[in-house]
Chains A and B, each alone.
Chain A
Amino acid sequence: MPSDAPDRDTAVAREHAVSFTLNGERVRCQVPARTHLGDLLRGTFGLTGVHLGCEHGVCGACTVLVDGRAVRACLMLGVQAEGATIETVEGLSESGRIRDLQDAFHARNALQCGYCTPGMLVTAAELLAECAGEIPSREAIRAAISGNYCRCTGYHAIVDAIATTAEARAARETAE
């Protein structure tokens, strides 16, 4: 890990130095160009909450937040993390930011095998942050998670959990 790597690496190379903010911490590493962000986060940083299902953008299990937006970790290169702020389900959990959502998933039985769960939580976290106190319709929740496959639950419990969280957050906001 060269500490003298230039901040803006514009060279043509098969491997690059990247530095970015990962779950609140500044990190730096070398990454082959062909390594997608999901493999970088899992392999180099041990963040195995980033699940890989399809590796072509269809299942949503790998979803992480990049600069606050939900992104497929399998469809972004690790080198493209340069300068970004990345949060995985581990970071969202440890910060307590989605505690209510996780509790609602638990209470509603919104997971069985749990493979889809990190992607569902990250996708729902973005939706809830965007709603900012407004309660999304069930149709809007379904549209938001339309890119996240769950082979176990049949989705109803997941929609319930997200809706419950949205309602509780809206109620809290009005009370404050």
Chain B
Amino acid sequence: MKAPDFAYARPASLDEALALLAAHGGDAVPLAGGQSLITTLNMRLAAPALLVDLNAIPGLAGISEADGVVRIGAMTRHRDVGTDPLVRERLPLLAAALPHIAHPAIRNRGTIGGSVALADPATEWPACCLAGEATIVVRGPQAERRIAAENFFLGLYTTALEPGEIVTAVEFPVPGPDAVWGFEELSRRHGDYALAGLAATARRGAGGLTGVRLAFFGLADRPVLARAAAAAIEAGDVKGAQGALSGELDPPEDPALRPATRLHLARVILGRVAGRMLDKPAQDGVPHAV
């Protein structure tokens, strides 16, 4: 189908973009990679009056490291996030997640800021943000806000973002030398949205794993940190962790897949990821090549 009629502007600065959003209230929306927004326009599921294109704003894309933090600009394309040498070295979890996000042509254009702002519960970057203790950096007309990922994803396509605010960056603390991670995703076909997915981080010492963070996606109306399961993994009890998941996840009703089946898949991927984080070197966990 064809998109409804709308106006378009391509501001050359963040301030100009914020001013446009403020002036047009709820009728204006930011346009990032367009890989979700333009689909909803073409399907006429949305009818904004104005698209404010973020693509020409200098400084919104790019990856840098300072003071123990890797900063990923909101307009950094999925592909550039996952293939960046700094990300591959410091945040291998993100590099492992990349091949699971859609297909090459969509990864070439979609952005990390767009994924985070959209908050589709079955997607990879929001879960990586939770597992990696990321901070979402947001600019509004008045001020900048820094929101911990745990307080950012509030529900189905719902975030802490206020109308008129723009995500400017996602910041990840650099994991320490004892960090381990794991990533698993099950989907029907390569590049499909997840049926069940898990992004996990932890620290490994002589006594086992500590600081375990298990961020499940595709298993509730938002990405979920499974805390009871994480505590069980820290105690070395993988079976107990798998058992705890029924109390922590809330798989969606889906005619193609029963909630109980999804929960089963969550236990399966937890078993894989936990086994790997407990036994194997930190670099293990890449399911298959890009």
Contacts and interface: CB of A to CB of B under 8 A. Distances in A.
Nearest to A119: B105
Contacts of A60: 103, 105
B55 interface: yes
Given A10-B11, A72-B106, A146-B191, A80 B289 contact: no
B24 to A, nearest CB: 8
Contacts of A104: none
A79 B53 CA distance: 10
Q: B35, B56, B105: which has the most chain A beta carbons within 10 Å?
A: B105
B7 interface: yes
Given A12-B7, A56-B39, A140-B289, A70 B108 contact: yes
A147 interface: yes
A113 interface: no
B38 A146 contact: no
Contacts of A79: 8, 10, 53
Interface in A46-70: 55-57, 60, 63, 69-70
Contacts of A144: 104
Contacts of B156: none
Contacts of B4: 34
A57 B8 contact: no
A14 B38 contact: no
Q: B11, B108, B290: which has the most chain A beta carbons within 10 Å?
A: B108
Contacts of B10: 8-10, 79, 82
Contacts of B42: 36, 55-56, 74-75
A77 B106 contact: no
Interface in A134-165: 137, 139-140, 142-144, 146-148
Contacts of A36: 2-3, 38, 42
Contacts of A142: 190
B43 interface: yes
Contact of B105 (A14, A55, A147): A147
Contacts of B51: 33, 77
A34 B3 contact: yes
Q: How large is the interface on A (under 10, 10 to 19, 20 to 34, 35 or more residues)?
A: 35 or more
Contacts of B257: none
B109 A72 contact: yes
B8 A10 contact: no
Contacts of A10: 9-12, 16
B12 A8 contact: yes
Contacts of A76: 34, 38, 109
B50 interface: yes
Q: How large is the interface on B (under 10, 10 to 19, 20 to 34, 35 or more residues)?
A: 35 or more
A123 interface: yes
Interface in B242-290: 288-290
B99 interface: yes
Given A10-B16, A57-B39, A77 B8 contact: yes
B5 A34 contact: yes
B7 A33 contact: yes
B201 to A, nearest CB: 25
B289 A147 contact: no
Interface string B173-192: 00000000000000001110
A71 interface: yes
A80 B103 contact: no
A65 B237 CA distance: 50
Given A10-B16, A34-B2, A77-B34, A123 B104 contact: yes
Nearest to B55: A80
Contacts of B288: 139, 143
Contacts of A39: 2
Contacts of B189: 146
Interface string B36-53: 001101110000001101
12 contacts: A8-B56, A33-B7, A33-B51, A72-B105, A75-B35, A75-B39, A76-B109, A77-B51, A142-B190, A143-B289, A146-B191, A147-B191
Q: Nearest 9 A-B pairs (CB), nearest first?
A: A147-B103, A33-B8, A146-B190, A56-B39, A70-B105, A69-B108, A12-B9, A34-B3, A75-B38
Interface of A: 8-14, 16, 32-34, 36, 39, 55-57, 60, 63, 69-72, 74-77, 79-80, 82, 123, 126-127, 137, 139-140, 142-144, 146-148
